[in-house]
Amino acid sequence: MNDELVQRIKNNPKYQELVKKRNGFALKLSIFVLVMFYAFILTIAFDPAVLGIKTGEGVMTVAFPVAAAIIIIGFITTLIYVKRANGEFEDLTNEVKADVKDLL
């Protein structure tokens, strides 16, 4: 890549909007997932009896559905990011490419 192309991309307002939106969204999703995981780990560390409560007459405790929910929510947050990346973020990327097409 030549320096002129790099500078033109960096100075493009659509590129700056893309970086701002993408980084903000990724940060929010990351914080959400990390808080969820750490809350689970801290519960195990400081009050394991909460997760040891039986859910019925069988052997299953509260820990299993909570852990399963955490894994499922992790997948859902990934799907949310991918959907937005393939939609809004991809559109902005294509607009930036179109703006600098003459230098390619």
Per-residue pLDDT reduced to its tens digit, 4-34: 888 999 999 999 999 999 999 999 999 999 9
Which SS3 state, helix, strand or coil, does residue 69 take? helix
C-alpha neighbours within 13 Å on the C-beta side of residue 93: 8
Per-residue pLDDT of the chain (104 residues; tens, 9 = 90+): 588 888 999 999 999 999 999 999 999 999 999 999 999 999 999 999 999 999 888 889 999 999 999 999 999 999 999 999 999 999 999 999 998 888 77
Radius of gyration of the chain (CA): 22
Tokens 């799907």 -> residue: 79
pTM of the full structure: 0.81
Domain residue ranges of the chain, discontinuous segments joined by +: 13-103
- Measured at the alpha carbon of residue 16, what is the angle toward residues 23 and 8, in degrees to the nearest 5? 135
State the CB neighbour count (10 A cutoff) for residue 18: 19
